[in-house]
Structure 1
Amino acid sequence: MHINWRTTVELPDYGNDHLCELFQRHLSEATDDDLLAAYLHWTEGRIALDCLGMADELTARFQSETESLNRLRIPLGSPYVGAYQSAKEDLRHAIDKALSTTETAFQKARATWVSLCAQTRHDLAGRYQHADETHPDRSAVALIGQLGEQNAGAERAVQNALARHRDEMHRLAILEEELATFLASDGSFSLQDVDTMNAYEFEHMVAALARRDGLNVLRSGGGSRDLGADVIAVTAGDLRVVFQCKHRHAGVGKVGSRDMQTLNGTARPEHQADIVIAVTNGTFTKPASDFARSHTIHLLGRTDLRSWATWGEHLLSVLGLTDAPLTTTAATPDCGPPYVQAS
């Protein structure tokens, strides 16, 4: 028995002489193996409790992050709704995955702690004399190390996800600021302003938007003999674009299939169009949409008009014809911010 009796650790005074005598007797009878086993057992329990506490703390923290995320509101009417939603779902997925890890770790650490408590009633020295490392008692404690690594990994994953989310929110905040500047410029036309235009003004706005996007406008307004081509322009890639403009008062009203049939009969045969577009501040009927789809006529209705006229998305991007021009090519420096598609 090797006990340093000059230790600063004092034997507890239990206020009972008989109990004190029992403690001293058991201490005097304890072997080195007994004392080491007791210390190892206590240490394993301490580590198990630490793992349990870490899992519990992380679970509470992750749940708090989830609550904060649920309170995060996506700006209404923003062109970046898809980007906001994607960032939110990515962070939610990372937190949910980490929560699953820490909740499982908590349950397993607790089960290990209970198992260690039960072992206290048995021969501790004999427990640590097992040479087989796969013994259930030993493998249960070894699991604590794995759980600790899993907890730490979950914490790192959430921290990285939060950093990515912060970076994305910062990026979107800059884009929102640039968009606000663009909305106040002459390059942006609100749907409210568009709705108050007459047909002539609407055609000239479409021509102005085409110029903003770098197209060479050959005709900026139609007439009684326009043969269905109100605006004609040429892209940088020498593609001829023919627009038929259908303005609807206050944005109310639909464009029907007869207009599509007329446009289809003249745009290519008469105007040699490579790209045919029907644009309105209203909407299109289903027969008109079906006809346009089957005859490769691009429809630019109220929703797409907002992306093009108000938010500054390039015409070809709105039409889904190219991924390249995601910024407006403006005649003046303040006529177009970088545009990020909603999804």
Structure 2
Amino acid sequence: MHINWKTKAAFPDYASDVLNEAFRLRISEATDDDLLAAYLHWIEGCVAVDFIVATHHLAEKIQAELHHVIDTQATPEVSPFPEDHDRARQELCSRLTRSHRAATEALERAHDAWSQMSGRTVHDFKNHYSGGSDAASGVLEDVGVLKNQVNQAERNMLNALAVHRDEMHRVALLEHQLEQFLNSDESHALQDIHVMSPAAFEQTVAGLVRRDGLHVIRDGGGSRDLGADVIAVTPDNLRVVIQCKHRQAGLGKVGSPDMQTLNGTARPEHKADIVVAVTNGTFTKPASDFAYTHDIHLLDQERLQRWATWGEPLLSVLQISTNTHPSAPAA
């Protein structure tokens, strides 16, 4: 066997001269097959170790992104877009979890391949690399398959982050539009509504209906209003009858007697297609139960904020679908 001792490859340098000499002697006595097998074995080891390190770093990176989402991407306590925040966060968590699972599975299999390869180091592994096409099998082949899995996991992670970034940018634009709307005259803060008189509250509700693009027929009630303080017509000719119940400081509740009165007049007397009761306070459970049974839509303080303050259209807040939707000022 001819050894090129001028090669640039560096041999291990041991502290013991005896060990160095023994190592060089062993190399000089090696056959071509011995050296080729040792070289292939070393290459497999390098590939396996590099792959394990890279995959471990990827798994840690995905895990860090996942923790970041869980720890810092909580939905704002008060937001017009809670579903957007929740949906984006849940989708990102799901996709990152799948990517992390794929990376950790590949890491475990790579460790198994490394263990099998390491077991051959102390044995005669020359026969492992003989046999023509079988020489390419083993760790290199296993890592090649796993690398495809890890590359896909990394692509999935990057894609998930990009999609989430775009979604959060979309929500940020909506929140910016909302901020501009909140500073306009079309937005009515709850604290301002709470100190209104009942008559002013009715006028405000009528103004909000106009803002949504409905045609207002009646914009205030009275002693003979028969439960209809505001009457309006949607662009597709649906008649909306609204009863307004103002509560000072937003602390009072609306009971079932008011709902019974509204139910007795809204459709028979006012020919309503959509019946709505709105308050800056809340509704009692009996009132809510009665309204649900008789198809009366309730707009309490929380929903009123969405409509009056944030600019979401009334029919959208009430989850009523019509052929023509009014445009949301803040959306």
TM-score scaled to structure 2, two decimals?
Answer: 0.93
Structure with higher RCO (Cα < 8 A, 6+ apart)? 1
How has the CA–CA distance of structure 1 residues 167 and 15 changed in structure 2, closer, same or farther, with 3 Å as cutoff?
Answer: closer
1:327 aligns with 2:310: no
Distance 2:219 2:249 in 1: 22
1:1-150 equivalent positions in 2, closer than 5 A: 1-9=1-9, 11-14=11-14, 16-69=16-69, 70-130=71-131, 138-139=137-138, 141-150=140-149
Give me the CA root mean square deviation.
2.1
Residue matched to 1:215: 214
**Other structure's SS at 1:149 match:** helix
Alpha carbons of structure 1 residues 15 and 209: separation in structure 2 relative to 1, 3 Å: closer
Tell me the residue number matched to 2:224: 225
Q: Partner letter of residue 234 of structure 2?
A: T
The CA deviation string for residues 83-122 of structure 1, in whole angstroms up to 9 with x for no partner, is 1122112112222222222222222212221221110111
Give the distance between the partners of 1:15 and 1:211, measured in 2 at CA: 91
One-letter code aligned to 1:99: H
Structure 2: distance between partners of 1:258 and 1:308: 25
Paired residues, number: 329
For 1:212-270, what per-residue CA distance to the aligned partner results, in whole angstroms no more than 9, with x for missing partners?
00110011000001111111111100111111111111111211111111111111111
Q: 1:291, CA displacement in angstroms?
A: 1.5
Uncovered stretches (5+) of structure 1, i.e. residues with no partner? 329-335, 339-343
1:287 matches 2:280? no
Distance between the aligned counterparts of 1:15 and 1:55, measured in 2?
A: 35
> What is the deviation of 1:130?
4.7
Q: Is the 8 A contact 2:255 2:287 kept in 1?
A: yes
C-alpha distance in structure 2 between counterparts of 1:287 and 1:248, whole Å: 18
1:308 shift after superposition: 0.8
Deviates more, 1:169-178 or 1:11-20: 11-20
Contact 2:102 2:150 (C-alpha < 8 Å) held by counterparts: yes
Q: Give the C-alpha shift of residue 142 in structure 1.
A: 2.4
Q: What residue number does 1:249 align with?
A: 248
- Could you list the per-position Cα deviations for residues 120-179 of structure 1 after superposition, in whole angstroms to 9, with x for gaps in the alignment? 11112111125685x9x9455522122212211111111111111111121111111110
Q: What are the equivalent positions in structure 2 for 1:122-201 lying under 5 Å apart? A: 122-130=123-131, 138-139=137-138, 141-201=140-200
Cα distance between partner residues in 2 of 1:326 and 1:114: 66
Which runs of no fewer than 5 residues in structure 2 stay unpaired?
none
Match status 1:337 vs 2:330:
yes
CA distance in 2 between partners of 1:301 and 1:161 (Å): 38
After TM superposition, the structure 1 stretch with the greater mean CA deviation from structure 2, 231-240 or 61-70, is 61-70
Q: How far 1:17 sits from its partner (Å)? A: 4.7
Give the Cα separation in 2 of the matches to 1:204 and 1:126. Answer: 93
Question: What CA distance in whole angstroms lies between the structure 2 residues aligned with 1:273 and 1:251?
Answer: 27
Q: Which residue of 2 aligns with 1:313?
A: 312
Aligned counterparts of 2:52 and 2:218: Cα–Cα separation in 1: 74
- Other structure's SS at 2:19 match: helix
Match of 2:205 in 1: 206
Q: 1:154 and 1:326 mapped to 2: Cα distance?
A: 44
Mapped to 1, the partners of 2:295 and 2:168 lie a distance apart of 38
